[in-house]
């Protein structure tokens, strides 16, 4: 590339420029202005650069769990096939086994923390890293905690003594004076019963022996999650699922996690996605429900 030739500035033009500059620096009387009469523009002095401190990011529960070497797991222990605690405090259930698998993936020890449905939220917020055991997602809970990705699609459906199955096929059948509906206190089964069966007789009962009471004739019907109905139908000769493939409503179960902790939730969701697809979850479910599909059809 050729350099552009340098063009010299004519002497006459240069002299004219100097004359104009001198004129601009004098007042109307031709006297040069003193420094006191010159109005100079104010130049702001640069302020020192201010250091902006980023807000401190709270430590993720993932880090805390790894440092503690344990995963604290809240569960009621009274809701098979998801969670059950024996009299000698042996824990078992689909979700209990899943939580222990999560702990193994994290390379920490699982620590089970016994709670009740009524105290589940308070105990989780104060003492646990995760809560499991057939826990339904609902607005009241999701105001206070995160949930993992869903573990199960479910719905409320009745179970009764086998000879009475045809009596309780609908909400209208159950919401009748004299029909005794039994339920555990403090969970979504109680909420459902009180909302839909106001004209019937409502009977709160301890959850661990609730199906024994139903089989013994202390109540007529219980409305609970489809998965529990399938398990109970499998375990009790006297009790039969009424219409498990046509649940009264739709719900989703998952695991409770600390609200706002996206790092921990992401870790749990990724672990769960694999466990649901690689046969881990199905392997834990098979001893409880056999070949039954825990998710309702359609």
DSSP line for 19-75: HHHHHHTB-TTSPBPPTTT--PPP-PPPPPPPPPPPPPPPPPHHHHHHHHTEEEEEE
Total residues belonging to the chain: 298
156-241: CATH homologous superfamily?
A: Periplasmic binding protein-like II (3.40.190.10)
**270 Cβ contact list (under 8 Å, min separation 6):** none
Two tokens at 63? 């880090």
**Looking up tokens 């500035």, which residue turns up?**
9
- Give Cα 206 distance to the centre of its chain: 27
> Are the CB atoms for 132 and 235 separated by under 8 Å?
no
pLDDT the model gives residue 10? 44
The CATH architecture one would assign to domain 61-153+251-289 is 3-Layer(aba) Sandwich (3.40)
Q: Up-side HSE of residue 14: CA atoms within 13 Å toward CB? A: 4
pLDDT the model gives residue 19? 44
Rounded CA-CA distance 5/71 in Å is 79
pLDDT per position as a tens digit, 179-188: 999 999 888 8
How far the first Cα of the chain sits from its last, in Å, is: 75
Collapsing DSSP to helix, strand or coil, 198 comes out as coil
Two tokens at 279? 């046969």
| Reported pTM | 0.72
pLDDT per position as a tens digit, 136-177: 999 999 999 999 999 999 999 999 999 999 999 999 999 999
Beta strands in 213-289 (DSSP E): 221-225, 239-241, 251-253, 256-258
Nearest CA to 174 out of 121, 235, 221, 227 is that of: 221
Q: Which positions of the chain have pLDDT values less than 70?
A: 1-57, 296-298
The torsion angles phi and psi of 110, rounded to 5 degrees, stand at -80, 135
The distance between the two most distant Cα atoms of the chain, rounded to a whole number of Å, is: 121
pLDDT the model gives residue 296? 64
In the chain, where does the domain assigned CATH 3.40.190.10 lie?
Answer: 61-153+251-289, 156-241
């Amino acid at each position: 590339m050729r350099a552009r030739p340098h063009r010299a500035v004519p002497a006459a033009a240069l002299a004219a420029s100097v004359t104009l500059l001198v004129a601009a620096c004098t007042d109307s009387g031709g006297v040069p202005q003193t420094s006191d009469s010159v109005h100079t523009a104010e130049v702001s002095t640069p302020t020192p650069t201010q250091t902006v401190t980023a807000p401190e990011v709270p430590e993720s529960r993932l880090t805390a769990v790894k440092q503690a070497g344990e995963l604290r797991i809240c569960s009621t222990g009274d809701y098979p096939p998801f969670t059950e605690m024996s009299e000698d405090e042996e824990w078992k259930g689909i979700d209990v086994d899943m939580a222990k698998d999560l702990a193994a993936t994290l390379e920490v020890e699982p620590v089970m923390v016994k709670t009740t449905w009524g105290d589940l939220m308070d105990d989780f917020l104060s003492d646990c890293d995760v809560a499991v055991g057939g826990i339904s997602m609902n607005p009241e809970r999701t105001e206070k905690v995160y949930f993992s990705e869903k573990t199960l699609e479910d719905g409320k459906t009745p179970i009764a003594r086998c000879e009475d199955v045809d009596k309780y096929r609908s909400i209208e059948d159950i919401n009748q004076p004299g029909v005794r509906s039994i339920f555990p206190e403090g969970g979504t089964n109680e909420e459902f019963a009180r909302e839909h069966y106001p004209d019937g007789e409502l009977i709160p009962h301890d959850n661990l022996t609730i199906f024994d009471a139903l089989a013994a004739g202390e109540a007529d019907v219980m409305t609970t999650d489809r998965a529990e109905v399938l398990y109970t139908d499998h375990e009790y000769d006297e009790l039969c699922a009424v219409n498990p493939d046509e649940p009264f409503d739709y719900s989703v179960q998952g695991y409770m996690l600390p609200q706002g902790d996206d790092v921990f939730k992401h870790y749990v969701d990724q672990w769960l996605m694999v466990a649901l697809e690689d046969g881990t979850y199905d392997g834990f479910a098979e001893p409880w429900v056999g070949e039954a599909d825990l998710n309702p059809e359609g």
